[in-house]
Amino acid sequence: MPRTAANPDSLHGLEPYKETKGEEYMNEKQQEHFRNLLLAWKAELMAEVDRTVSHMKDEAANFPDPADRASQEEEFSLELRTRDRERKLIKKIDATLELIDQDEYGFCEACGVEIGIRRLEARPTATLCVDCKTLAEIKEKQISG
């Protein structure tokens, strides 16, 4: 997540949301901020996909040396794995945008409490509050050993 030199707190080119005293949680202004944040993040990821495709087309070569060919294949494999993770993240971003459209964004899907602006700034796709996420991680550790 790139931060600008002018403002290291900038996320995807957007300033963090500044709450005003007495402001209602997840009002239209906040929803619009997070919608813009998610759309900017998605645009960055889509640009990376385009860059990867053009890079792979430009760099694809049939090297006569097996070591060179193996190095290139490994590089492409790593890039494709990264893009696959980003593809899954794009799906998560789209699901989060749906939550905003349904006025369900910003509330824990397990217990219903407010997730919190600061947590959503750090992880805009969060669906659990800190407490529920912590419990889920503890359960996961107990199950997987």
Burial class (CB in 10 A: 0-12, 13-18, 19+), 105: buried
The one-character DSSP state at 106 is T
Q: Are 56 and 79 in contact (CB under 8 A)?
A: yes
Return binding residues. Answer: 108, 111, 129, 132
Q: Side chain identity at 3, as an amino acid letter? A: R
Distance CA 105, CA 114 (A): 9
Phi and psi of 27, rounded to 5°?
A: -75, 180
Return binding residues for Zn(2+). Answer: 108, 111, 129, 132
